[in-house]
Chains A and B, each alone.
Chain A
Amino acid sequence: MELLALAFGAALAVGLTGIATGYAQARIGSAGVGAMSERPEMFTSAVILMAIPETVVILGFVVAVMIMLILPGG
Chain B
Amino acid sequence: MIQSMNRIEVAALKDVFPQLLSFLHEQGVVHIEPLTEVPSGGRVARLHLSEEEEEEHGKLRSILEAVTALLDSTADQGDLERVRRLEATPTRELFLRFQELTEELGRRKARHEELLEERRLLPHWESLVDAFLSIQYAFARRPDWSMMGLILDRAREHDIDALRNEIARVTKGRMELSVATLDPTRLAALVFYEERFERDLERLIWGKGVDHLTLPRKYLGKPLDEVLTDISVRRREIPREIAEAEAAYRDLLTKSGEELVALRELARLRSKELSTRTAFVQSSYTVGLIGWVPQSAAAPLRRGLEELFGDRVFVSFRPPRPEEWATVPVALSNPSLARPFELLLLPMRRPRYGGLDPTILLALFFPIFFGIMVGDIGHGAVILLGGWAVGRWFPRVPGAVSSILMTMGGSAIAFGFLFGELFGDLGKGWLRPLLFDRTERMISYLWLALAIGVAHVLLGHLLGIIGALRLRKPRQATERAATMAAIFGGLLLLGAGVKLIPSGWFTPGLILMLAMVPVLLYAGGLVALLELVSTAGHILSYARLMALGVAGAMLAHVANTLGSTEGNVVLGILVALLLHLLHLVMSLFSPTIQALRLHYVEFFSKFYEPGGVPYAPFRR
CB distance from A22 to the nearest CB of B (A): 15
B contact residues around A45 at 8 Å (CB): 347
A66 to B442, CA, bound (A): 9
- The listed residue (A48, A51, A62, A69) touching B543 by CB distance below 8 A is A62
Asked whether, in the complex, the Cβ of A48 is within 8 Å of the Cβ of B541, the reply is no
A55 to B547, CA, bound (A): 10
Which partner residue on chain B sits nearest A62 by CB separation? B543
B contact residues around A66 at 8 Å (CB): 443, 446
- The listed residue (B346, B543, B593, B600) touching A58 by CB distance below 8 A is B543
Asked whether, in the complex, the Cβ of B594 is within 8 Å of the Cβ of A51, the reply is yes
Asked whether, in the complex, the Cβ of A52 is within 8 Å of the Cβ of B550, the reply is no
Asked if B544 is at the interface of the complex by the 8 Å CB criterion, the answer is yes
Residue interface bits A61-74, CB-to-B below 8 A is 1, else 0: 11001100100000
Asked if A30 is at the interface of the complex by the 8 Å CB criterion, the answer is no
A2 to B346, CA, bound (A): 51
Asked whether, in the complex, the Cβ of B443 is within 8 Å of the Cβ of A58, the reply is no
CB distance from B45 to the nearest CB of A (A): 37
A contact residues around B547 at 8 Å (CB): 58, 61-62, 65
Asked whether, in the complex, the Cβ of B443 is within 8 Å of the Cβ of A48, the reply is no
Asked whether, in the complex, the Cβ of A51 is within 8 Å of the Cβ of B442, the reply is no
- CB within 8 Å of B: which of A17-67? 44-45, 47-48, 50-52, 54-55, 58-59, 61-62, 65-66
Residues A61 and B346 in contact in the complex (CB < 8 Å), given A48-B596, A48-B600, A69-B442: no
Which partner residue on chain A sits nearest B545 by CB separation? A58
- CB within 8 Å of A: which of B300-348? 346-347
Asked whether, in the complex, the Cβ of A52 is within 8 Å of the Cβ of B594, the reply is no
A contact residues around B544 at 8 Å (CB): 54-55, 58
A contact residues around B548 at 8 Å (CB): 58
A contact residues around B596 at 8 Å (CB): 48, 51
B contact residues around A62 at 8 Å (CB): 446, 543, 546-547
Which partner residue on chain B sits nearest A55 by CB separation? B541
Residue interface bits B535-561, CB-to-A below 8 A is 1, else 0: 000001101101110110000000000
CB distance from A47 to the nearest CB of B (A): 6
A contact residues around B600 at 8 Å (CB): 48
CB distance from B445 to the nearest CB of A (A): 10
A52 to B601, CA, bound (A): 9
Asked whether, in the complex, the Cβ of A48 is within 8 Å of the Cβ of B597, the reply is yes
- The listed residue (A48, A59, A61) touching B551 by CB distance below 8 A is A61
- Bin the interface of chain A by size: 10 to 19
Asked whether, in the complex, the Cβ of A52 is within 8 Å of the Cβ of B540, the reply is no
DSSP class of A's interface residues: helix, strand, loop or mixed? Answer: helix
Residue interface bits B438-450, CB-to-A below 8 A is 1, else 0: 0000110010000
A58 to B594, CA, bound (A): 11
Asked whether, in the complex, the Cβ of A48 is within 8 Å of the Cβ of B347, the reply is yes
A52 to B551, CA, bound (A): 18
- The listed residue (B540, B550, B593) touching A59 by CB distance below 8 A is B540
A contact residues around B594 at 8 Å (CB): 51, 54
A35 to B100, CA, bound (A): 42
CB distance from A57 to the nearest CB of B (A): 8
B contact residues around A44 at 8 Å (CB): 346-347
Asked whether, in the complex, the Cβ of B593 is within 8 Å of the Cβ of A47, the reply is yes
CB distance from B547 to the nearest CB of A (A): 4
Residue interface bits B281-305, CB-to-A below 8 A is 1, else 0: 0000000000000000000000000
- CB within 8 Å of A: which of B564-620? 593-594, 596-597, 600-601
Which partner residue on chain B sits nearest A60 by CB separation? B547
B contact residues around A55 at 8 Å (CB): 541, 544
Find the residue from B346, B443, B597 having the highest chain A CB count within 10 A: B597
Asked whether, in the complex, the Cβ of B543 is within 8 Å of the Cβ of A59, the reply is yes
Which partner residue on chain B sits nearest A64 by CB separation? B547
CB distance from B483 to the nearest CB of A (A): 20
Residues A65 and B550 in contact in the complex (CB < 8 Å), given A48-B600, A54-B544: yes
Other than A52-B597, A62-B547, give 19 A-B pairs with Cβ distance below 8 A: A44-B347, A47-B593, A48-B347, A48-B600, A50-B593, A51-B597, A54-B594, A55-B541, A55-B544, A58-B543, A58-B548, A61-B551, A62-B446, A62-B543, A62-B546, A65-B442, A65-B446, A65-B547, A69-B442
Q: List 16 A-B contacts (CB under 8 A).
A: A44-B347, A48-B347, A51-B593, A51-B596, A51-B597, A54-B544, A54-B594, A58-B543, A58-B544, A58-B547, A61-B551, A65-B446, A65-B547, A66-B443, A66-B446, A69-B443
